[in-house]
Amino acid sequence: MRLPPLQSLRAFDAAARHLNFTRAAEELFVTQGAISQQIRQLEEYLGFRLFFRLPRRLQLTDEGDRLARATYEGFSRIAGEIESLRAVEEAGVVTVSVLQSFAVKWLVPRLGHFREAHPDIDVRIHADDRLVDFRNEGIDLAVRFGRGRYPNLYTELLMRDEVFPVCSPDYLASSPPLNKPADIAGHQLLHDATSHIEQPRAADWQFWLEGVGVKGIDLRRGLRFNSGDMVIQAALMGHGVGMARTSLAAQDLKAGLLVRPFPQTVASSYAYYLTCPEENLNRPRVQAFIRWLKDEVAATLTDIEESQPALTIITSNPDA
């Protein structure tokens, strides 16, 4: 059986509840004449009258009364299901793709704050250095480290990054003095040998030494790791002086577990970016996670500003 046009049924439902065409029109943001026309068309479609048009009021016919109960129940059920679906969407699960190092040293330690603010949203962390396929892999949002060039995706700068040497307080106290950058020549160096798609030299020793103008250091020696978080861990354990990024070392610096032997900092030409398909931004759970990420980044930057002052040197070679 073919149903009448939905627009006519909506007009009838409103008119039947209010028993007034003008108030029905106000509810649906149309004119009183439009409601009257929709009712006439519905009556013609059904072949019977729905209202008695009395001088100062409307009255439902028997057929109109039966249909009014049916439309009220139907629209109420639809509205209830929509609210239920919205609640599931807002709660539900948010799946986030991030680099392993960022997950370990920045994101995971802060997730408790998100849980406190949004106990109904579960977070799934997808640690991967590659660029993911959002739709086929079920990823809602990604945090990538690069230049922000992600075609056909929404992209927003989340956090800039800087690089600088770090070591443990015990290592600094028990090792040969580190008074100037050239002094690293006599120390065990911890290398971040990560080679991601966009940033093959984003946090290596050569990048920093070029930035501070130091030459002649033999960088072939030392311990090499294929993830920035392992460099931080090795530095924490006193294995040497590591090249760190602000994003990965901020909490350990704040806690006093790591120190910076030199004030010089070199600004990276890469940064962290939020990226996802444009339509994912309409999901309440994604909106909530993005708001929380921005709040946490703001707190991180405050911690950095309150730490020991540093001279920032902007590298002149964006492809370094």
**Residue 191 CA from chain centroid, whole number:** 30
Q: How far apart (Å, rounded) are the C-alpha atoms in residues 214 and 296?
A: 35
The DSSP secondary-structure symbol of 196 reads: -
As a dihedral over the C-alpha atoms of residue 64, residue 69, residue 71, residue 73, rounded to 10 degrees, the angle is: 180
142 class by beta-carbon count within 10 Å (0-12 exposed, 13-18 middle, 19+ buried): buried
Signed CA dihedral, 129, 133, 136, 140: sign only: positive
Q: What DSSP element (H or E) covers 297? A: helix 284-306
Low-confidence ranges of the chain (pLDDT < 50): 196-200, 314, 316-320
Residue 204 pLDDT: 78
Could you tell me whether strands 141-146 and 189-192 are parallel, antiparallel, or unpaired per DSSP bridges? unpaired
pTM, whole model, 2 decimals? 0.65
AA letter at 43: E
Say how many C-beta atoms besides its own lie within 10 A of residue 235's C-beta.
25
Q: How far apart (Å, rounded) are the C-alpha atoms in residues 259 and 257?
A: 7
Residue 317 pLDDT: 45
Q: How far apart (Å, rounded) are the C-alpha atoms in residues 113 and 111?
A: 5
User: Which residue segments constitute the domains of the chain, with CATH numbers given?
Assistant: 6-89 (1.10.10.10), 97-307 (3.40.190.290)
Q: How far apart (Å, rounded) are the C-alpha atoms in residues 162 and 213?
A: 16
> Which residue is it, tokens 């006093």?
256
Q: Are 274 and 286 in contact (CB under 8 A)?
A: no
- Cα-flanking dihedrals φ and ψ of residue 303, to 5°? -60, -40
Residue 318 pLDDT: 43
Q: How far apart (Å, rounded) are the C-alpha atoms in residues 92 and 86?
A: 10
Instruction: Name the CA radius of gyration of the chain, rounded.
Output: 31
Q: Are 237 and 168 in contact (CB under 8 A)?
A: yes
130 class by beta-carbon count within 10 Å (0-12 exposed, 13-18 middle, 19+ buried): exposed
- Find the length of the chain: 320
Residue 89 pLDDT: 57
In this structure, what token pair is assigned to residue 1? 């059986």
The tens digit of pLDDT for each residue in 54-98 reads 988 899 999 999 999 999 999 888 877 776 666 555 558 899 999
Could you tell me whether strands 264-276 and 311-314 are parallel, antiparallel, or unpaired per DSSP bridges? parallel
